[in-house]
Amino acid sequence: MTMKTNLPIFAAAALAGVIALGGGIFAASHLFAPSTLDSDAIGATYLDGGREVTDFSLVTHDGTPFTEDDFRDGWSLVFFGFTNCPDICPTAMIDLARVQESLNAEDRLRTLFITVDPDRDTKERLAAYVPAFHESFTGITGDLEQIDRLARDLGIVHIRHNENGETDYMVDHGSAILLINPEGRLQAIFQAPHRPDDMSRDLQAILDHHAGR
């Protein structure tokens, strides 16, 4: 007497289960996969993985100590300049204010103005200058040696022209705007000329990428 078997039915059911499981895994992997950043589509120089920033010790315009650990509070835009700068610095700060206002509220960045002229740019002077461009902006000063240390890490060159002890002197300095990620690493570089609309678009792309949006 020949016994019937349900093997073909079981095989078909197992195959269907495998297909369904595979489809679910595929859908989940695509649903939750982080977005891909096309670095060729943005104007900024994007540093995959970021570049390490060594330790430093400075102070904000309200007297609060500022070190490399403070970069880890969130995303930061950094610009090096000085308050006596006649053109590049105020123009960059106006551009940064426009960028700040253009971003989504949840993506607002901390913007830091780090002086390359600490002899003249006291905390009081920075407190009057920096927040005038945007109330959220923070001025940073401190010992020139510490400023030099951070500037070298971020690729900013600056030269003071007061060889004869003049008090009314100029400072040549790099005009790049730097993006620091919440791990305290240099993530992107925005070279001059700065176009707020382009910067905002690039920043949003970078932030979306890191947020997995």
More confident residue, 107 or 212: 212
Three-state SS annotation for 170-208: CEEECCCEEEECCCCEEEEEECCCCCHHHHHHHHHHHHH
Tell whether omega for the bond before 193 is within 30 degrees of 0, i.e. cis.
Answer: yes
Indicate the pairing of strand 110-115 with strand 65-67: unpaired
Provide mean pLDDT across the span 58-85: 96
Lowest mean pLDDT among 65-79, 123-137, 158-172: 158-172
Bridging pattern class, strands 158-160 and 57-60: unpaired
SS3 assignment, position 80: strand
Place 36 in a pLDDT band, splitting at 50, 70 and 90: low
Mean pLDDT across 199-207: 94
Mean pLDDT of the chain: 85
State the CB neighbour count (10 A cutoff) for residue 162.
13
pLDDT for res 119: 94
Report how far residue 181's alpha carbon sits from residue 188's, in angstroms, rounded to the nearest whole number: 9
> Which pair of structure tokens corresponds to residue 136?
């959220």
Amino acid in position 84? N
- The pLDDT tens digits for 113-158 are 999 999 999 999 999 999 999 999 999 999 999 999 999 999 999 9
**Distance (Å, whole) CA 69 – CA 56:** 9
Alpha helices in 76-195 (DSSP H): 88-102, 123-129, 144-153
For the chain, percent of residues with pLDDT exceeding 90: 69
pLDDT at 212: 84
pLDDT in the model for residue 92: 97
pLDDT band at 11 (very low <50, low <70, confident <90, very high): very low
164 has a pLDDT exceeding 90: no
Each domain of the chain, given as residue ranges in start order, spans 46-211
pTM: 0.81
Encode 33-55: b = buried (16+ Cβ within 10 Å), e = exposed: eeeeeebeebebebeeebeebee
Residue 127: Cβ-neighbour burial (10 angstroms; 0-12, 13-18, 19+) = middle
Indicate if the pLDDT at residue 15 is higher than 60: no
Q: Does domain 46-211 have CATH number 3.20.10.10?
A: no
Q: What is the identity of the amino acid at 120?
A: R
The C-alpha atoms of residue 8 and residue 22 are separated, in whole angstroms, by: 21
pLDDT 10s digits, 103-112: 876 777 999 9
Encoding tokens for residue 15?
Answer: 């195959």
